[in-house]
Amino acid sequence: MYRLVGLLLAFLTFAHSITVDEHGYIMYCPCMGRFGNQADHFLGSFGFAKALNRTLVLPPWVEYRKGEVRSIQVPFDTYFQVGPLQAFHRVITMENFMKTLAPSLWPPAERISFCYTERMGLDGSTGHGCNAKSGNPFGPFWDTFEVEFAGSEFFGPKLNYDIHHGDSMARRWSERYPGAKWPVLAFTGAPAAFPVQQENLLLHRYLRWSVKYETGAKQFIRDSLPRGAFIGVHLRNGIDWVRACEHVKESSNLFSSPQCLGYRNEHGQLTAELCMPGRDTIIRQLKRQIKLHREAAPDNPIRAVFVASDSNHMLGELNDALKRMDVTVVRHPDGNPHLDLAILGRANHFIGNCISSYSAFVKRERDANGFPSSFWAFPPEKPGAKVKGGGSSPQHEEL
């Protein structure tokens, strides 16, 4: 009897998983940047799918690993739970969609790639339509699912991805591409803006770490940090970041800077120190935050600082500077940037880089949970304001 009930439940679960959404689906390649950028694009695409009332096909995360010529596609649910997303809007993993729905709903002859306008080939040639598989990660991404496009569809200039402003953009999309005729809108890139639009920031509340990463973060905090409160910090200081910060002088905003400066720079101006804080700034802010926390919670003082970095974790310098405060500075030995993110999200306080989309991910998660955060060199200190005082390890590339 119990075995029969189990089989029936399994059948119903499978049947539910392959129910076709008559309103259609949205699919895209997360082909711009690393994890931080892809996460911004995911939130925008999530909001876009909701506005068009189409199920969002959750793409795998695109990763670039040393020694690999082609990108690696990591299933969406490796890092995040699918269930919580359903509380906001309908979703399905790309693996599930391609296996159960694509053969009949999206047959090879009807696989059309969508783009705003024609996309040139790597050699500068034209006449290839959206050219959806040209280059890395575009080609490897679609090859993962054995997708070959039969044609291209240009939706510009009358349509765009901004469904929060303008004249009924979502309605115009649905009128031009009804679900009955166009069951799948497969975009060459994410149907979203970078950085994430202000209207989509709150969607981060539906993004929950997978059990593996949630458990890993809790275990590290329990087993590797001293008992007590801890500060999580992100130090973005690799050579690629040094070069990126050279553009500060000629820019009013850069990457994720709206998270502290505002989307119209209403909270301040871009500075070199904001992009690449110096050693003295980092130590001064840490000491100040440790002191503030001890004053606010004397029974639960800061005992550790957890550092995530794409290059130099500054463990030696920071441990020396904070020794008298009885604070230990640590990092995770595996150099796993996703696990670092999950740990940073659980800190008693977080200090991040205002320009970095990696820091922006942490800030949004903490905002969703009501946890405090701040940024290096922001707000800028008044001139003359100073506080006295102030090894090689495995590295990971910031995602």
pLDDT band at 120 (very low <50, low <70, confident <90, very high): confident
> Which pLDDT does position 381 carry in this prediction?
81
Percent of the chain as helix, strand, coil, to the nearest 5: 40, 15, 45
Highest mean pLDDT among 114-123, 214-223, 245-254, 387-396: 214-223
Integer Cα distance of 374 and 365 in angstroms: 13
At 91, is the secondary structure helix, strand, or coil? strand
| Residues in Cβ contact with 220 at an 8 Å cutoff, skipping those fewer than 6 apart | 332, 339, 343
pLDDT mean over 175-194: 98
| Assigned CATH for 2-202 | 3.40.50.11340
Closest CA to 100 of 196, 25, 205, 43: 25
pLDDT reading at 394 higher than 60: no
Domain spans in the chain, listed from the N-terminal domain onward: 2-202, 209-375
Instruction: For residue range 260-289, list pLDDT tens digits in order.
Output: 999 999 999 999 999 999 999 999 999 999
* 196, 67 Cβ separation under 8 angstroms: no
Whether 2-202 shares its CATH topology with 209-375 is answered: yes
Residue range 218-245, pLDDT digits in tens: 999 999 999 999 999 999 999 999 999 9
Where do runs of H (alpha helix) occur along 268-322?
272-275, 279-296, 315-322
Helix (H, G, I), strand (E, B) or coil at 114: strand
Q: pTM here? A: 0.91
Q: What are the backbone angles phi and psi of residue 291, rounded to the nearest 5°?
A: -65, -45
The CATH fold of domain 209-375: Rossmann fold (3.40.50)
What are all long-range contacts of 16-19, with beta carbons under 8 Å and residues at least 24 apart?
Answer: 17/92, 17/96, 17/100, 18/100, 18/101
Percent of the chain with pLDDT over 70: 91
